[in-house]
Amino acid sequence: KEYYHTDSLDTLKLWFNSIDKASLLNVHMIQPVQSTTQNRIPSSFLLSAYGIDNTATANDILQRWWYIFNQCLQRNIKIIGFATDADAKYVIAIRLMSRFFASLPNFSVHQHQQAFTEKLKSRWPWFFLREQQLLLFFQYATHLATKWRNYLLSSTAELRLGDQSISINHLYSIIDNAKFTKIDHGLTKSDINPKDRQNFSSCVKLTSDDLFKI
């Protein structure tokens, strides 16, 4: 639908002056799953982008996901999950769709013909997920990576990997060590500046194979 369509410049001016305009951009990207015959992960691509004013509800988000899922299914494309940030509205939508201590009224998601069964490993007693799911949900990788980096560079938070703790001091010791050069680790002081909280290129460097080998 073309909700705002006109050939009149005066009408267009009126709309711009009297109707609320979207201040944010919502983007949907698709990441194809790598098949067993592919050597490289397929590139993601843009599905849609549109302006929003951040007034959407959890129900609006569910309807949006449901529309995308069904439209793709009609074209023989199976959507297996959605990734988003931890905005409260999205968390509510995720809980309802995945039946995480919540459920949708009058709609048994797990009984959909496209639903699948997920068997969890017994050594994951801390992880809760109902076996029958129609979709899986994640925090998107960019958000997770920048959040991990911010914890790593924080002077107050403690980040642990198994029984070991890691901190920004480990990175300083690598950068300041005369045995290593930037060619070895690829890092600069700006990469570990905690004030730059959205530096995704720094996340890529901090998770590089070269750095892990040191």
Quickly list H helices, 21-140.
Answer: 58-74, 88-98
Q: List, for residues 156-196, the tens digit of each pLDDT value.
A: 888 887 788 888 888 889 989 989 888 888 888 889 888 88
Rounded (to 5) percent helix, strand, coil in the chain: 40, 15, 45
Euclidean distance between the first and the last CA atom of the chain, given in angstroms as a whole number? 56
Instruction: Note whether 98 and 112 are within 8 A (CB).
Output: no
Residue 146 confidence (pLDDT) above 70 = yes
What angle is formed at CA 94 by the lines to CA 92 and CA 100, rounded to 5 degrees?
90
Residue 2 confidence (pLDDT) above 60 = no
Residue 125 confidence (pLDDT) above 80 = no
pTM: 0.71
> Mean pLDDT, to the nearest integer, of 1-12?
79
List all residues 6 or more positions away from 140 whose beta carbon is below 8 Å from its beta carbon: 83, 84, 85
Residue type, 209: D
Q: Whole-angstrom Cα distance, residue 174 to residue 172?
A: 5
Residue 69 confidence (pLDDT) above 90 = yes
| Most confident option among 74-83, 123-132, 149-158, 181-190 | 74-83
Lowest mean pLDDT among 121-125, 152-156, 159-163: 121-125
Residue 113 confidence (pLDDT) above 80 = yes
Residue-level pLDDT at 3? 64
> Mean pLDDT, to the nearest integer, of 70-99?
92
Can you name the residues that pair with 24 across neighbouring β-strands?
Answer: 52
Dihedral pair phi/psi, residue 81, rounded to 5°: 180, 170
Q: List, for residues 44-68, the tens digit of each pLDDT value.
A: 999 999 888 888 899 999 999 999 9
Per-chain mean pLDDT for the chain? 88
Specify the DSSP class assigned to residue 113. Answer: T
Residue type, 69: F
